[in-house]
Chain A
């Protein structure tokens, strides 16, 4: 044995160092999370401002048009109608099933993808305010979230029309989509928060995220129904798509089915892991954001 008594073996020294590193890191992470949480609490205190700015954004876009935000609804309805007819033919899907599936899917997807892409520029577009007013920074992300919830509220009007048109009944199961929707929003918020921070620093990222979202649209069952897949291999890969689970907890209750246990577990786990990550990153870098803009 080459090790002298009283000396630590390299292994012991290493493990001690590792333990020290982990402990200090955990302490740091703890501090970051506290900083991030206090910022979020400050944002929650000025919820009235967040609400007003979100409304303001929606109104501003359609200020001088007669129909206002309902243009969103109309263009969405036209898209769903066209896609429903074309792809219903291609997939030879029964219209009663396919139309509601597509309508819910497209509406939710546009909600998700808009939040992800606007989350990327969440801090960048708020540069003017960030550099002048010491508002808690998460105000800008929550304002964007609220704006998109409002837009979703306009788009959701399409659903009853579609259901009526194809004669599909609404069931009480649909109410399960409410907790599902809350969980979806909780997940999207951490995604937007992380993307907002990283994209403020690395300006190429919004483009990359944009392309990933486009790929995501085709990989997620929105235009195609999973039960129409003839190739079973595709079905095995589907549970690996996190967006599928997030979509499913809102979509399937609206279509009269219960989401699977898997859907709930994955969505909850994503929310937990994601928020720990988001709080750490946001708490660590939030004071740098003003410098990056």
Chain B
């Protein structure tokens, strides 16, 4: 049973190394990004998210739509627990897994096997968990003997295959994604696609930021359109896509 409840959530980013006076002069609406403002102490703040209210229950597949800087990634990070909101309260029940940066933690000097342990450890798996699954991971990545070579010798595609194979081994209740992951050549792509579908299906709640109409229409049953950190529209994916993509 997974559950997410956001109550009037705001996120402000303090920015310390800019001259607040020069920013004060041009506190105009900018085309991209959140609202710039000045807090009580005179520090420049960017309001990345403002007044977010929504609830997600089991079976919800939420698509996040919006321009660059609308607050999609910030919202994903808020959900993953990296950021804590500046105002408002949120309640998240369920184990969270994120597929936002699947290459994080990979050490190019270490070999593929060591990297599986590093990456798996960062994802919260224990050593024995990984040992049990390592053969599956290696088989899936199709890296063969390269698994014992340093990752710096890998091509970009091989690097991504390894990262993908490890990162998709976990089965979180709440899955966070920034665009659909697709890696590798023609043959691998099919396998990866199947793995991704399986991962998404096993998750109770999916939150995915995307710029693709088809993806949101096909995967999600609900969508939120963010603009300047505020909810512009919240509804079924059909409704929101129709309004957003026009």
**Proximity bits, A226-248, B CB within 8 Å = 1, else 0:** 00000000000000000000000
Residues of B within 8 A of A201 (CB): 16
Minimum CB–CB distance for A126 against chain B, Å = 11
A133 to B176: give the CA distance in the assembly, Å: 12
Q: In the complex, what residues of B have CB within 8 A of residue A131's CB?
A: 77, 82
Are A56 and B118 in touch, CB under 8 angstroms?
A: yes
Partner of A48, one of B13, B109, B126, B150: B126
A132-B98 CB under 8 A given contacts A60-B107, A60-B109? yes
Q: Which chain A residues border B107 with CB–CB below 8 Å?
A: 56, 60
Partner of A134, one of B14, B96, B109: B96
Q: Which of A242-293 contact B (CB under 8 A)?
A: 287, 290-292
Report the Cα distance A129→B101, complex, angstroms.
10
Do A132 and B110 have beta carbons less than 8 Å apart?
no
Is the pair A132, B101 in contact by a Cβ cutoff of 8 Å? yes
Residue-wise, chain A 120-144 has the 8 Å CB interface mask toward B (1 for contact) of: 0000000011111111000000000
A59 adjacent to chain B (CB < 8 Å): yes
Instruction: Tell me the dominant secondary structure on chain A's binding face.
Output: helix
Given A48-B126, A59-B110, decide whether A132 and B121 contact each other with a Cβ distance below 8 A: no
CB-CB under 8 A from A41, the residues of chain B are: none
Q: How far is the CA of A134 from the CA of B84 in the complex (A)?
A: 10
Assess whether B100 is interfacial by the CB under 8 Å rule. yes
Say how far B243's CB is from chain A's closest CB, in angstroms.
31
- Which residue of A is nearest B109, CB measured? A63
Which residues of chain B in 98-138 are interfacial with respect to chain A, using CB atoms and an 8 Å cutoff?
A: 98, 100-101, 104-105, 107, 109-110, 114, 117-118, 121-124, 126-127
Residue of A nearest to B117 (CB): A52
Interface residues in B2-55 by Cβ distance below 8 A to A read 13-14, 16
Bound CA–CA A128/B122 (angstroms) = 12
Task: Tell which of B82, B98, B101 touches A290, judged by Cβ atoms closer than 8 Å.
Answer: B82
Which residues on the B side are within 8 Å of A92 (C-beta)?
A: none
Q: With an 8 A cutoff between CB atoms, is B80 at the interface? A: yes
Tell me if A129 and B105 are in contact (CB < 8 A): yes
In the complex, per-residue mask of A37-76: 1 if CB is within 8 Å of any chain B CB, else 0 = 0000000001011001100100110011000000000000
Q: Is the Cβ of B109 less than 8 Å from the Cβ of A52?
A: no
Are A49's CB and B83's CB within 8 A?
no
Which of chain B's residues have a CB closer than 8 A to the CB of A63?
Answer: 109-110, 150
B81 close to chain A: CB less than 8 A: yes
A129–B104 touching, CB < 8 Å: yes
Known: A56-B118, A132-B98, A292-B14. 15 other contacts (CB 8 A): A48-B126, A48-B127, A52-B118, A56-B114, A63-B150, A129-B105, A129-B122, A132-B100, A132-B101, A133-B98, A133-B122, A134-B80, A134-B96, A290-B84, A291-B14
User: What would 27 A/B residue contacts be, using CB atoms closer than 8 Å?
Assistant: A46-B124, A48-B126, A49-B121, A49-B122, A52-B117, A52-B121, A56-B110, A56-B114, A56-B118, A60-B110, A63-B109, A63-B110, A63-B150, A128-B104, A129-B104, A130-B82, A131-B82, A132-B98, A132-B100, A133-B104, A133-B123, A134-B81, A290-B82, A290-B83, A290-B84, A291-B83, A292-B16
Interface of B toward A, CB cutoff 8 Å: 13-14, 16, 77, 80-84, 96, 98, 100-101, 104-105, 107, 109-110, 114, 117-118, 121-124, 126-127, 150
Q: Report, nearest first, the 6 A-B pairs whose CB atoms are least far apart.
A: A134-B81, A63-B109, A287-B84, A49-B121, A132-B101, A132-B104
